[in-house]
């Protein structure tokens, strides 16, 4: 029987319930402490495999208040007590979905789960990976396995030539604007076609990262060794030629409200803040794209740039990007998820507008329930920072 | 089972509305409960009473994987959510916590906050003032997890 890459990795047909051994689980500072408490409560004192757990405190690092410090302490004690091998604590820390691929934990064909919805990022390297809650995480930490319903696959063929100023972010924002925030609910989103295969791994991660914003179970891209069989059964095939598209801006308050940048320019949207970073767009190539536009210019909107990992930060420093950002009037912070979720390091006040390279623009996502978030690529964010309003990065 | 409903006929009510991320520095149910649904309906935590249900549109619970969304609602007294459809991580988290997530395609504008519904889980419908709404019966293996009191009980029994 011919199978999709997702069916192959999960070893089942679409619709079938399977229980699969887990190759890797990602744990962070918000969703793991509850899982630790659950395990203690039922008397399970040992994880199934201390080498298959990657712990990345990232949401509220460096600790933002006493409460988050207590959660971080709980996580830290547990990691030491269990002897967990892969622990990216402060100093080698970073946003989990940037750390795991960067540090070589993600390999094609793996089954990966993470107690975070954007775990779907790792599909960019040909693995099946999906986000789970704390109870599922506790179950995996104890047993090393989990049940799945094998999802049907939506195939997205992306063809054409990348238009000027266009980025991987625009591809995924465009797709979500076409199918909606529940357009891939419970399904696998498989991205392919000439455009996708020419992208850098980091750019592929930006695309798979946002599969969850269409409700998908996983996002995935084929590799040389892991691919969908010719003639396999897709639930639906979408063919998009991007040659004539413009960069996309997703208006408040849904990631599916993507509009062409020329519309946003016409709407004359003045902004208070720009944020460049996160698990969607905080990797080195994102920093580089922002730097190319910011070089020698001054920003009008307050601009926060956060390299997603310590390694990305160091590379920016070595190559002069940090200085370039500071000279432009931006601020640069140590890696954290912080502002993306309105946690800390850039929370919005009532009525404020922000262009953000993150993944969600829900009500209250980055601060006050009456603030507004426009999602865009690092290029659009950088040029908008300079102009003080949403602008086209040609 | 009789229950009062709180109706939000909106699609894609997301986890940031159910429990804003700024409160995730705590994982205590009673703490989270104070902020349940805060960015959608500021007065919700005060209105909600033990055993109440939420009624909503499509794609309820989309967004983050935070199980805190379930705990905030449960802490506020909510017994379950009846929605046209659910986002998948929320749905899974609900099952794992033994929290009722009922998928009902027949939800309509006649349902009003404060209505009392009569719910039959076994037969797969609820009624309000003589109107009947059928819903997808809860799958067997889901029932099994719920009856055991959550997924983790499978590890110890």
Residues of B in contact with A341 (CB under 8 A): 16, 21-22, 24, 64
3-state secondary structure of A338: helix
In whole angstroms, what separates CA A95 from the centre of its chain?
9
Is B65 in Cβ contact with A182 (below 8 Å)? no
User: Can you tell me the mean pLDDT for A72-84?
Assistant: 98
Q: How far is A324 from chain B (nearest CA, A)?
A: 32
From CA A68, how far away is CA A111, in angstroms rounded? 30
Kindly state the tokens that stand for A90.
């402060």
Label the pairing between strands B80-83 and A24-28.
Answer: unpaired
Assess contact for A273 and A346: CB atoms under 8 A: yes
Is A132 in Cβ contact with B92 (below 8 Å)? yes
* Residues of B within an 8 Å Cβ radius of A: 11-12, 14, 16-17, 20-22, 24-27, 38-40, 58-59, 62-68, 70, 85, 87-89, 92-93, 96-97, 141, 150-156
From CA A223, how far away is CA A205, in angstroms rounded? 13
User: Can you tell me the mean pLDDT for A202-206?
Assistant: 98
Is A44 in Cβ contact with B141 (below 8 Å)? no
Kindly state the tokens that stand for B58.
């499509």
Least confident piece of the model among A385-389, B31-35, B136-140: B136-140
Higher per-residue pLDDT: A394 or A245 = A245
Assess contact for A330 and A304: CB atoms under 8 A: yes
Nearest CA in chain A to B21: A341
Residues of B in contact with A43 (CB under 8 A): 156
pLDDT 10s digits, B105-148: 999 999 999 999 999 988 899 999 999 999 988 888 788 888 88
Nearest by CB to residue B152, choosing from A59, A139, A365, is: A139
Kindly state the tokens that stand for A361.
């623009």
Assess contact for B100 and B80: CB atoms under 8 A: yes
Nearest by CB to residue B64, choosing from A71, A117, A185, is: A117
pLDDT 10s digits, A95-122: 999 999 999 999 999 999 999 999 999 9
pLDDT 10s digits, A60-75: 999 999 999 999 999 9
* Confidence at residue B145, expressed as pLDDT on a 0 to 100 scale: 84
pLDDT 10s digits, A272-327: 999 999 999 999 999 999 999 999 999 999 999 999 999 999 999 999 999 999 99
Assess contact for B8 and B43: CB atoms under 8 A: no
Q: Which of A256, A273, A12 is nearest to B59 (CA)?
A: A256
3-state secondary structure of B117: strand
User: Can you tell me the mean pLDDT for A217-239?
Assistant: 97
Confidence of residue A53 (pLDDT cuts 50, 70, 90): very high
From CA A49, how far away is CA A56, in angstroms rounded? 17
What domains can be seen in chain A, in order of their start residue? 18-148 (3.30.499.10), 153-241 (3.40.1060.10), 248-387 (3.30.499.10)
Nearest by CB to residue B20, choosing from A38, A142, A364, is: A364
Task: Provide the ipTM.
Answer: 0.93
Confidence of residue B31 (pLDDT cuts 50, 70, 90): very high
What domains can be seen in chain B, in order of their start residue? 2-156 (3.20.19.10)
Is it the case that residue B97 has pLDDT exceeding 80? yes
Is B152 in Cβ contact with A38 (below 8 Å)? yes
Counts of helices then strands in chain B (DSSP H, E): 7, 7
Assess contact for A2 and A230: CB atoms under 8 A: yes
Residues of A in contact with B85 (CB under 8 A): 182, 185
Is it the case that residue B40 has pLDDT exceeding 90? yes
Q: Is residue A77 packed enough to be buried (19+ CB in 10 Å), middle (13-18) or exposed (0-12)?
A: exposed
**φ/ψ of residue A56, rounded to 5:** -130, 90
pLDDT 10s digits, A177-198: 999 999 999 999 999 999 999 9
Is B26 in Cβ contact with A132 (below 8 Å)? no
- Residue B86, sorted as left (phi over 0), alpha (psi -120 to 50) or beta, turns out to be beta
**Other Cβ atoms within 10 Å of A144 Cβ, number:** 17
- Using CA atoms, how far residue A129 sits from A116, A117, A124, A389, B118, in Å, is 11, 10, 9, 37, 40
Q: What dihedral do alpha carbons A100, A101, A105, A110 form, nearest 10°?
A: 110
Nearest CA in chain A to B15: A362
Q: Which of A77, A124, A74 is nearest to A100 (CA)?
A: A124
Assess contact for B86 and B61: CB atoms under 8 A: yes
pLDDT 10s digits, A340-377: 999 999 999 999 999 999 999 999 999 999 999 999 99
Kindly state the tokens that stand for A143.
């047993």
DSSP at B12: -
């Amino acid at each position: 029987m011919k199978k999709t890459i997702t069916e192959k990795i999960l070893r089942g047909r679409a619709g079938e319930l399977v229980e699969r051994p887990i190759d890797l689980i990602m744990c962070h500072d918000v969703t793991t402490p509850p899982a630790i408490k659950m395990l203690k409560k039922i008397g399970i004192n040992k994880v199934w495999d201390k080498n298959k757990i990657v712990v990345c405190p990232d949401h509220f690092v460096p600790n933002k208040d006493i409460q988050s410090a207590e959660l971080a302490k709980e996580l830290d004690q547990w990691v030491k007590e269990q002897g967990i091998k892969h622990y990216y604590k402060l100093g080698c820390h970073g946003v989990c979905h940037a750390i795991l691929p960067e540090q070589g934990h993600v390999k094609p064909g793996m089954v990966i789960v993470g107690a975070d919805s954007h775990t779907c990022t790792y599909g960019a390297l040909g693995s099946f990976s999906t986000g789970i809650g704390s109870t599922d995480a506790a179950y995996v930490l104890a047993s090393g396995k989990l049940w799945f319903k094998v999802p049907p696959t939506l195939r997205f063929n992306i063809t054409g030539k990348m238009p000027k100023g266009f980025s991987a972010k625009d591809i995924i924002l465009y797709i979500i604007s076409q199918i909606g925030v529940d357009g891939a609910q419970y399904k696998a989103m498989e991205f392919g076609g000439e455009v996708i295969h020419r992208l850098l791994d980091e750019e592929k991660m930006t695309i798979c990262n946002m599969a969850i914003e269409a409700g998908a179970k996983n996002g995935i891209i084929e590799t040389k060794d892991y691919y969908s069989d010719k003639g396999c059964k897709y639930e639906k095939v979408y063919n998009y030629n991007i040659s004539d598209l413009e960069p996309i801006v997703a208006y408040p308050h849904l990631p599916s409200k993507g509009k062409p940048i020329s519309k946003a320019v016409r709407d004359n949207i003045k902004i208070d803040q720009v944020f460049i970073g996160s698990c969607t767009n905080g990797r080195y190539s994102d920093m580089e794209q922002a730097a190319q536009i910011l070089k020698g210019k001054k920003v009008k909107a307050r601009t926060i740039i956060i390299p997603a990992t310590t390694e990305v930060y160091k590379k920016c420093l070595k190559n002069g990007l940090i200085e370039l950002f500071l000279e432009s009037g931006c601020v640069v912070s140590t890696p954290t998820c912080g502002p993306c979720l309105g946690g800390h390091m850039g929370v919005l006040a009532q009525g404020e507008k922000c262009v953000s390279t993150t993944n969600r623009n829900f009500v209250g996502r980055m601060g006050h329930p009456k603030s507004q978030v426009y999602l865009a690529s690092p290029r659009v964010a950088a040029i908008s920072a300079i102009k003080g309003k949403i602008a086209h990065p040609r | 089972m009789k229950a009062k409903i709180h109706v939000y006929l909106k699609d894609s009510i997301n986890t940031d509305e159910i429990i804003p991320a700024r409160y995730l520095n705590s994982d205590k149910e009673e703490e989270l409960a104070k902020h349940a649904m805060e960015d959608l309906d500021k007065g919700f935590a005060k209105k909600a009473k033990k055993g109440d249900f939420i009624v909503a549109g499509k794609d309820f619970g989309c967004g983050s994987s935070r199980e805190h969304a379930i705990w905030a609602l449960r802490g506020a007294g909510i017994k379950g959510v009846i929605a046209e459809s659910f986002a998948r991580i929320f749905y899974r988290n609900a099952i794992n916590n033994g929290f009722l997530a009922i998928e009902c395609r027949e939800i309509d504008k006649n349902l009003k906050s404060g209505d009392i519904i009569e719910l039959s889980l076994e037969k797969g419908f609820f009624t309000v003032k003589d109107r009947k709404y059928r819903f997808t019966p809860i799958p067997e293996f889901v029932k099994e997890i719920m009856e055991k009191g959550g997924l983790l009980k499978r590890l110890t029994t």
